[in-house]
Structure 1
Amino acid sequence: MEPIKNLIERAWESLTEGWRELLTRSSGALTHFGTEGGGKTESPQEFPHWSLLAAETWETAKSVVIRVEIPGMNEGDLGIDIDGNVLRIRGEKRLGATQQRRRYHLMERAYGHFERSIPLPHGVDAEKAEVSYRDGVLTAILPKTDTLPPRRLTISK
């Protein structure tokens, strides 16, 4: 009976570790979409309130590079800030007037206000940041520095 008990304990630990790893890897990417101020949604139908804004971050010798998939947006609908060692991306994905009148059979895309925070592995110089948004991907190239003043960034075309 003891070998079976040990086998079950090991299986449970493995399962628990797997869920813990999944939660750690996805905790930032799963983003809540909602209305600012908690008001009514602009859609007459219920739509998903969570979506995956997949990101990748890496360092070069001189900069931190972040890419985030944010499809279906215009650059004017996005706001980007750096505060300390965190890059914050805010936006609102709107449901168009013609889309609101449709009767959906399947609706998996999320709409509304969202915010995504990405920790920076190194201090960056926001004044020299290069930010672009092309083909649904936001790219920020942030030169490394030791000072961390909060700054608002603009998206270039």
Structure 2
Amino acid sequence: MRYRRFSYRYTGVFSGMAAPSQANVWEGQPQSSFAYPQWQPAADLYETPTALIVKVEVAGMAEEDFEISLYENALVIQGVRPWESLEGNGVYHAVNIHYGAFRLEVPLQQPIERDRLRRVIGDRIQARYDRGFLYVILPKAEV
């Protein structure tokens, strides 16, 4: 995984998850937009007493396939899931799995503990890829 941290606000058009304060964060959210032609993986955003956790469904990938960027007000996860060729003379009858470039933009309404991120894991975001899911853990700021 590649990690980048920015000390400024994200100014892109949010085409990803809605603000976590809404009752249904997925209702009416497009899977892609004209601004970003990539597909958007399914994701959950939840919180524990100490962290915000983003769980992204992206099977068939490796850790080095992800780029994770943390802005002052957003988390952006992107990468490319390569197309898998059929063996022999196979013919597809249905194609429901997304391949190619993807991008997920998560607005951050909750303050993140950036100093703790820096102390514990240096300049890296705490993330892991396990059984087809990418987990990104962001420590919450103590209020």
Q: How do 1:47-58 and structure 2 match up within 5 A? A: 50=39, 53-58=41-46
1:130 aligns with 2:126: yes
1-side partners of 2:63 and 2:86: how far apart? Answer: 22
2:4 is matched with which residue? none
1-side partners of 2:26 and 2:99: how far apart? Answer: 25
* CA spacing shift, 1:25–1:101, aligned 2, 3 Å: farther
1:81 is matched with which residue? 69
How high is the TM-score relative to the length of structure 1?
0.57
* CA spacing shift, 1:26–1:142, aligned 2, 3 Å: same
Residue 101 (structure 1) shift: 6.4
RMSD across aligned C-alpha pairs, in angstroms? 3.2
How high is the TM-score relative to the length of structure 2?
0.61
1:59 aligns with 2:47: yes
Give the gaps of 5 or more residues in structure 2: 1-22
Contact between 1:87 and 1:119, CA under 8 Å: does it hold in 2?
yes
Which structure has the larger Rg over C-alpha atoms? 1
Alignment-mate amino acid for residue 120 of structure 1: L
Residue 123 (structure 1) shift: 2.3
Encode CA deviations 1:40-74: one digit per residue, 9 max, x unaligned. Answer: xxxxxxxxx756x2222122232211111111211
1:143 aligns with 2:139: yes
Query: Segments of 4+ in structure 1 off by > 6 A?
Result: none
Of all paired residues, the percent bearing the same amino acid is 27
1:109 is matched with which residue? 97
Residue 88 (structure 1) shift: 0.5
Encode CA deviations 1:15-52: one digit per residue, 9 max, x unaligned. Answer: xxxxxx98952516x247xxx9x9xxxxxxxxxx756x
Structure 1 counterpart SS, 2:92 = coil
2-side partners of 1:95 and 1:57: how far apart? Answer: 27
Aligned length: 110
* CA spacing shift, 1:117–1:107, aligned 2, 3 Å: same
* CA spacing shift, 1:85–1:23, aligned 2, 3 Å: closer
2-side partners of 1:96 and 1:64: how far apart? Answer: 33
